[in-house]
Structure 1
Amino acid sequence: MEVIHSFTVPNPNDISPSSQDQFNETFPMLMEILMKNASYGSKFDTGNMNFTESEKVYGLVQCTLNISETDCRICLQGAMVELSECYGKKQGGRVLRPSCIAWFELSLFYDSSSIDTPSLTPFDPPLTPGFAPHEATRDK
């Protein structure tokens, strides 16, 4: 898994000082949940949490399908460190790595209605021994 290079994109706007403390408590919780779900499941997750009565933080994480659960988690944890260090006072930011991405914003930036929850089963279960699916036959 390659993690040497990453590309970061900040949201230029700062979080209001009056809600910074609540954000600092909520943001890591949201991203931890998303990282766990993505690394132990479909390699993708989105979600949101309120950090004030009227403000939410939205998050998205994704790993490439060719890496292990462990490598996915390591990649996302590294991306989270970058997000926290670089954008802790910003209204959003993205870290793009060769094997994963982590993204957060204070506004909805993904179409949640078009996101299908993929099956957590990575492959079809094996056929019962001695069982063969019906083959189509034609009369000649």
Structure 2
Amino acid sequence: IFSRPPYLPPSSALSSPSPKRFVVMAACLHYLKSLPVLFFFFHVICAQVPYHDCLTTALNYTSNSTYENNLNRLLASLRENASFTGFYNTSVGKGADQVHGLVQCYKDISAGDCSTCADSAASQILELCPNSKAAVIWFDNCLLRYTSFNFFGIIDESKNSYVDGDSIPNPVQFKQLLRSFFNNLSMSATTKNSTLMYATGYVWYTDNITLYGLVECTGDLSLKSCDSCLKTSITTIWQCCSDRESARILSPSCVIRYEIYPFYGSLTPAPARPASSPPPPPANQSTTPSTPDNFP
């Protein structure tokens, strides 16, 4: 079970800890039927695509206010600058009306796709979260986030969990593989030689099932903070979602995801598992934290 606090400035900016609530978001109603006991422990919400969190515990702004004007200027700036490097963060305004935000595209998409995703995110976050002073939205190609306080460089520990697909065969074995797989991806993304804080890879599970994974942190974090965010997300996915064919843990600071089909890069399937291969140890995985050619 994992905890998620009400959305307030990070604990370093609070005088006392806030109470916690438990949350899990599931993409498929049929999965919820298999979790009758868990309803007593945390609030279950069916996911809506695009994935988003309006952070309803944050204060709302008034229409036609200075804050709304600054937010619109911020979103316009994020849209305009996203495709240059794939990451952009900025602040607009002063004092209580200041707005801070960032946009990040996943490293394996083109600059054109990044620009398209940033445009969609900036438009839809206002439609999905009207008058919210803090919100985050995740697409398959990008994420966009804004708040009324300066969060740059600070880990947001809130976690939203989404699951999909059928049950995975032999879940006990799969759970062990999943943790070592994501641990290795995390190490690839957070080594001193990595400036991207991003890695993808695959590992064979059975002759017919190949697991594909992705980990990524937002560009405002340090390698140490990225490592911390990914570790808590790996623990979350291992605890909540490791018996399904598909799952993702979405945080405002980092993302991890796995599928049984290729969903990143060129979408080329992994090579077939050799017939004589034993059950795959973690070393069989392939990770790709290298610099993409899509951005300057």
CA contact 2:229–2:253 (8 Å) conserved in 1? yes
* C-alpha separation in 1, matches of 2:211 and 2:256: 13
> Cα 1:77–1:23, aligned 2, differ >3 Å: closer, same or farther?
same
Residue of structure 2 in register with 1:37 after alignment: 188
Whole-Å separation in 2 of the counterparts to 1:8 and 1:21 = 20
Are the equivalent residues in 1 in contact too, given 2:199–2:289 (CA < 8 A)? no
How far the C-alpha of 1:54 sits from its partner, in A, is 2.2
- Which among 153, 159, 166 is matched to residue 6 of structure 1? 159
Structure 1 residues 75-129: Cα deviation after superposition (integer angstroms, max 9, x where no partner): 001111111111011111111111110001112222346988218xxxxxxxxxx
Aligned to 1:27: 178
| 2:291 corresponds to | 118
Distance 1:89 1:62, change over 3 A: same
Instruction: Answer yes or no: is the 8 Å Cα contact 1:39–1:63 preserved in 2.
Output: no
Q: Give 5+ residue unaligned stretches, structure 1.
A: 120-140
1:52 aligns with 2:206: yes
Separation in 1 of the partners of 2:289 and 2:204?
A: 23
Q: Write out per-residue CA displacement over residues 40-85 of structure 1, whole angstroms, 9 at most, x where no aligned residue.
A: 2121110010011221111000011111111101000111111111
What code does the residue aligned with 2:290 have? Answer: T
- Larger RCO, structure (CA 8 Å, separation 6 or more): 1
**Please, what TM-score do these two structures have when normalized by structure 2?**
0.37
How does the TM-score come out when normalised to structure 1?
0.74
* Unaligned residue ranges in structure 2 (runs of 5+): 1-153, 269-287
Contact 2:155 2:225 (C-alpha < 8 Å) held by counterparts: no
**Which residue among 104, 123, 139 is the counterpart of 2:258?**
104
Structure with a larger share of its residues in strand: 2
How large is the Cα RMSD of the aligned pairs? 2.2
Sequence identity (%):
24
Q: How does 1:80-99 map to 2 (within 5 A)?
A: 80-99=234-253
